[in-house]
């Protein structure tokens, strides 16, 4: 038969109530580490990881400082790219190996 047979094995620790608890804890403290969340929720680190990333679809991000692009930057970038392209055409790509990968 093609009917789905009952599954044997352990049931998931991640019940709807536990998932709601983890979701509430993350809403109250979004900077909380997964290890701290697991400890407070009384689940394993891996279960907390699964709950946050796969079930709740939350992903960590870090704010990084980037330099502001000035109006003159695109021209300078284009100039560098043209110089580098000419350098490769004149000297060959192998010269980069010598410059960056020396003994």
Predicted confidence (pLDDT) per residue in 72-88, tens digit? 899 999 999 999 999 98
Domains of the chain by residue range: 16-55, 69-103
Burial class (CB in 10 A: 0-12, 13-18, 19+), 58: middle
State pTM to two decimals.
Answer: 0.51
Q: How far is residue 84 CA from its own chain's centroid?
A: 32
Burial 18-33 (b: 16+ CB within 10 A, else e): bbebbeebbeeeeebe
What pLDDT does 5 receive?
76
Higher-confidence residue: 8 or 72? 72
Give the confidence band of 93 by pLDDT, cuts at 50, 70, 90.
Answer: confident
Residue 100, CB-side half-sphere exposure with 13 Å CA sphere: 5
Predicted confidence (pLDDT) per residue in 57-68, tens digit? 988 776 778 888
């Amino acid at each position: 038969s093609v009917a789905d047979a009952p599954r044997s094995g352990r049931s998931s620790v991640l019940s709807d109530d536990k998932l709601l608890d983890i979701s509430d804890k993350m809403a109250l403290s979004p900077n909380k580490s997964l290890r701290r969340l697991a400890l407070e929720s009384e689940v394993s680190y891996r279960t907390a990881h699964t709950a946050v990333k796969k079930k709740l679809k939350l992903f960590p991000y870090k704010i990084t400082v980037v330099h502001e692009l000035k109006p003159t930057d695109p021209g300078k970038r284009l100039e560098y790219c043209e110089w580098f392209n000419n350098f490769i055409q004149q000297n060959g790509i192998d010269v980069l190996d010598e410059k960056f990968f020396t003994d």
